[in-house]
Amino acid sequence: MTTTTGKVLLAAPRGYCAGVDRAVVTVEKALDVHGAPVYVRKQIVHNKHVVETLEKRGVIFVEELSEVPEGSLVVFSAHGVSPAVHAEAVERNLKTIDATCPLVTKVHNEAKRFAKDGYKIILIGHEGHEEVEGTMGEAPDNMVLIDGLDQVEKLEVKEGEKIAWLSQTTLSVDETLETVHALKKKLPILMDPPSDDICYATQNRQAAVKNIAPKVDVLIVVGSSNSSNSVRLVDVALEAGVKKSFRVDSESELKKEWFEGAKSVGLTSGASVPEELVDGVLVWLNKNGFGDVEEVETIEEHITFSLPVEIRKDLKAAGKA
């Protein structure tokens, strides 16, 4: 019989952030009020399990609005969309519910303000990510993307040009600060955003990982491969001192050889991961010798967001508010 004397340090906070919870609940409420199918442009959040669960309830995920029948209901994902997507929805007579995370909307508003004031905007983010595409769509003529520190030196700026920076909300805090430092060295007049763009949940989950990583032999991150904040947590763990860190969608992807010789395991999850997936990993760890679980709280979270105005109106009209 496997002994269960190995230690598990369970990071807190972990899992769902307020923006993800809001987006998932929005789709669930849309199904309750309108019935299936409900269309969602892109993945509502970047988690394989969440997407598959919603698909079983009748959600149809599409890449573009052209795949949605005219006049249908479509939900915009938590990552946000560009003004061009909103305009296309109007043209195709689609009923829309905008589940964009309010913290992403904040970055969109900052982009519009900087563009209106004549600034060139440097957006720090990952090329091809939905959030980046949506943000850049707010001011395409004023914005340039920097995806990595190595691109800073290649940046060309006109003399006397007003310049500001913004960032994707789910980046590594340390890597972003390093990029900003390099930008300010090159561009001393660089204007900061009015407030930090990296979301509270991303920062808090990274802080929690930094806290436990030096104390464990292996650190597991539960999250999907297309989840930027989940992937970053692996990097943060390794930089914080843990020798081995792995990302898994669920316990089915865990491998016994990762834990050979280990006496302690750290466990966390990305901001779009439901707690049931973490529970599954804990069960697996318990069966494989790691049954002593201690939750380590680094920061308390109390942030919540109200549902989008469109679904609140629908719920009220249906008597389900």
User: In the annotation, is 275 catalytic?
Assistant: no
Q: pLDDT tens digits for the chain (321 residues)?
A: 345 689 999 999 999 999 999 999 999 999 999 999 999 999 999 999 999 999 999 999 999 999 999 999 999 999 999 999 999 999 999 999 999 999 999 999 999 999 999 999 999 999 999 999 999 999 999 999 999 899 999 999 888 899 999 999 999 999 999 999 999 999 999 999 998 899 999 999 999 999 999 999 999 999 999 999 999 999 999 999 999 999 999 999 999 999 999 999 999 999 999 999 999 999 999 999 999 999 999 999 999 999 999 999 999 999 987
Return d(Cα 207, Cα 131) in angstroms, integer: 23
Alpha carbon of 254 to those of 17, 53, 220, 234, 248: distances in Å? Answer: 24, 21, 9, 15, 7
Query: Kindly report the CA angle at 195 between 115 and 83, in degrees rounded to 5?
Result: 40
Q: Residue 278 region, left (φ>0) first, then alpha (ψ -120 to 50), else beta?
A: alpha
List all residues 6 or more positions away from 297 whose beta carbon is below 8 Å from its beta carbon: 12, 13
3 state SS of 27: helix
Return d(Cα 4, Cα 11) in angstroms, integer: 19
Alpha carbon of 66 to those of 14, 33, 76, 166: distances in Å? Answer: 36, 24, 14, 30
Detail the DSSP E strand segments found in 26-181. 38-41, 59-62, 73-76, 95-98, 120-124, 143-146, 163-167
The residue from 110, 130, 131, 138 that is catalytic is 131
Return d(Cα 44, Cα 318) in angstroms, integer: 23
Structure tokens at 279: 């529970």
